[in-house]
């Protein structure tokens, strides 16, 4: 232990005696470590943000489709009720959508109009803020009620307190007046921005019972080519594939590839995979500076060997072993790299926090990354210090003394 402390003390003494050179040598390590931590932290924040936004659109949601060119009939309400009961699903629903006009006492606006079952409340991920969502009984009775978002209420009525107010919905020349019974939270900022980019004018989102929709616009809503299903978080993600197999048997379509699905979980996983690949690539690019920093450490240590040739010769002439000389130089390069790594970690975390604040992201600091960065910086120092250390250790005392 005393020998090790002696090596470390000697290494620190030489580092302190060349502060400027040591600082410049550390610079490459500092930049490399800071870049990797900042990139990974901001990347994790972006990945979390995109994942949360995708989940906000609809978490455990999937849509099952029939190939109409193969299937002899569509889904009926009895079919999806059977599926819901068979798999103990959170809910199932059909829906129809059209583009129309919504009119309130403050004006008329473009609108996406949805007719759906009561379980459609689970579809968009936005929670009910006031009032209630229409229920199964209201769907069955084709009640003239609707649910809209808070911003829609403000545009249509000048206030978010729109429960009990009447909105007129026109689609294809047919109109129906509906009572507002529920106000939902607005879309998340990212989704709202995406929709604003697609739509030139403000567009409302109106949801009404499917039967009301069919009756108002004279549409058949008894049979559909697709339906949405919702499952709870404690149910396995494979439940959608199980439902597909069940539907194939139920509809007599087994082996015909006529039933397929789209799941928000699959989309979320794909987005996570893409974001992970982008972050890994950016980290690899940032990591190149670590290699450059390591080469800088090697160069400085080679200079140090040259400057200290006489010291090495004297030490070896009085009995210092080759191993001791090598360990001393390795200790110096490792300490320089570790010090650079610590400074780089602090700088990287600071840059990451500032970047996340500017990008309105949540900083996700992974302790494994921080510890890994510190260890990696030390490994860089050891790896690139091996050659100078071996060169110093192999000097013969007579040759080392003769050079000065």
Nearest residue to 236 (alpha-carbon basis) of 200, 265, 196:
265
Q: Which residues contact 44 (CB under 8 A, 6 or more apart)?
A: 279, 364, 366
Q: What are phi and psi of 237, to 5 degrees?
A: -65, -20
Cα 118 to chain centroid distance, Å, stands at 31
User: Does one domain contain both 306 and 337?
Assistant: yes
136-151 pLDDT tens trace: 999 999 999 999 999 9
For residue 1, name the pLDDT band (cuts at 50, 70, 90): very low
What is residue 71's predicted lDDT score, i.e. its pLDDT?
Answer: 87
Cα 202 to chain centroid distance, Å, stands at 29
284-312 pLDDT tens trace: 776 676 677 677 777 776 666 666 666 66
332-348 pLDDT tens trace: 777 777 788 888 888 88
User: Does one domain contain both 215 and 125?
Assistant: yes
Cα 146 to chain centroid distance, Å, stands at 34
Cα 87 to chain centroid distance, Å, stands at 30
Which letter, b or e, does each residue of 89-101 get, where b requires 16 or more Cβ atoms within 10 Å of its Cβ?
bbbbbbbbeeebe
User: Does one domain contain both 365 and 391?
Assistant: yes
Q: Tell whether the model's pLDDT for residue 193 goes beyond 70.
A: no
Hey, what are 158's tokens? 């000048």
User: Does one domain contain both 303 and 178?
Assistant: no
CB 29 within 8 A of CB 377: yes
The domain boundary residue, chosen from 232, 264, 296: 264
Q: What is the domain extent for residue 235?
A: 59-264
User: Does one domain contain both 243 and 287?
Assistant: no
For residue 5, name the pLDDT band (cuts at 50, 70, 90): low
User: Does one domain contain both 154 and 70?
Assistant: yes
CB 123 within 8 A of CB 61: yes
User: Does one domain contain both 281 and 231?
Assistant: no
The domain boundary residue, chosen from 264, 283, 311: 264
Find residue 109's DSSP bridge partners.
102
User: Does one domain contain both 164 and 193?
Assistant: yes
Q: Which residues contact 241 (CB under 8 A, 6 or more apart)?
A: 261
Q: What is the dihedral of CA 381, 386, 388, 392, to 10 degrees?
A: 130
User: Does one domain contain both 63 and 151?
Assistant: yes
Q: How far apart are CA 149 and CA 125, in angstroms?
A: 12
Nearest residue to 175 (alpha-carbon basis) of 115, 219, 216:
216
The domain boundary residue, chosen from 264, 283, 304: 264
48-97 pLDDT tens trace: 777 666 665 556 788 899 998 888 899 999 999 999 999 999 999 999 99
User: Does one domain contain both 68 and 189?
Assistant: yes
Domain count, the chain: 2
Q: How far apart are CA 313 and CA 273, in angstroms?
A: 56
User: Does one domain contain both 143 and 73?
Assistant: yes
User: Does one domain contain both 44 and 172?
Assistant: no
CB 200 within 8 A of CB 221: no
């Amino acid at each position: 232990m005393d020998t090790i402390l002696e090596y470390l003390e000697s290494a620190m003494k030489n580092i302190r005696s060349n502060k400027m050179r040591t600082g410049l040598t550390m610079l490459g390590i500092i930049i490399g470590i800071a870049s990797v931590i900042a990139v990974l932290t901001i990347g994790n924040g972006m990945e979390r943000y995109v994942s949360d936004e995708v989940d906000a659109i609809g978490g455990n949601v999937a849509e099952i489709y029939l190939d109409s060119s193969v299937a002899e009939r569509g889904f009926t309400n009895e079919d999806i009720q059977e599926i819901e009961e068979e798999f103990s699903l959170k809910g199932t629903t059909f829906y129809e959508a059209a583009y129309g006009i919504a009119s309130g006492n403050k004006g008329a606006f473009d609108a996406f109009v949805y007719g759906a079952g009561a379980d459609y409340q689970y579809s968009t991920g936005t929670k009910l803020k006031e009032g209630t969502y229409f229920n199964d009984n209201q769907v069955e009775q084709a009640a003239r009620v609707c649910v809209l978002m808070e911003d829609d209420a403000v545009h249509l009525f000048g206030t978010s307190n729109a429960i009990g107010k009447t909105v007129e919905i026109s689609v294809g020349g047919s109109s129906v007046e509906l009572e507002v019974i529920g106000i939902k939270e607005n879309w998340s900022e990212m989704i709202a921005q995406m929709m604003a980019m697609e739509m030139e004018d403000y567009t409302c989102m109106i949801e009404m019972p499917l039967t009301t929709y069919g009756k108002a616009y004279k549409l058949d809503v008894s049979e559909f080519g697709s339906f949405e299903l919702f499952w709870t978080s404690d149910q396995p993600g494979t439940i959608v594939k199980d439902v597909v197999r069940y539907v194939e048997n139920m509809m007599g379509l087994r082996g015909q590839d006529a039933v397929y699905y789209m799941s928000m979980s699959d989309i979320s996983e794909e987005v996570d995979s893409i974001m992970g690949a982008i972050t890994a690539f950016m980290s690899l690019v940032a990591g190149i500076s670590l290699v450059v920093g390591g080469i800088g450490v090697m160069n400085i240590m080679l200079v140090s060997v040259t400057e200290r040739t006489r010291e090495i010769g004297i030490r070896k002439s009085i009995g210092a072993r080759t191993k001791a000389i090598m360990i001393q130089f390795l200790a110096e390069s490792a300490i320089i790299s570790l010090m650079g790594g610590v400074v780089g970690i602090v700088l990287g975390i600071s840059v990451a926090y500032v970047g996340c604040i500017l990008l309105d992201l949540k900083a996700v600091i992974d302790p494994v990354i921080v510890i890994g960065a510190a260890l990696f910086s030390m490994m860089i120092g050891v790896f690139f210090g091996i050659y100078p250390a071996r060169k110093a250790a192999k000097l013969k005392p007579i040759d080392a003394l003769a050079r000065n």
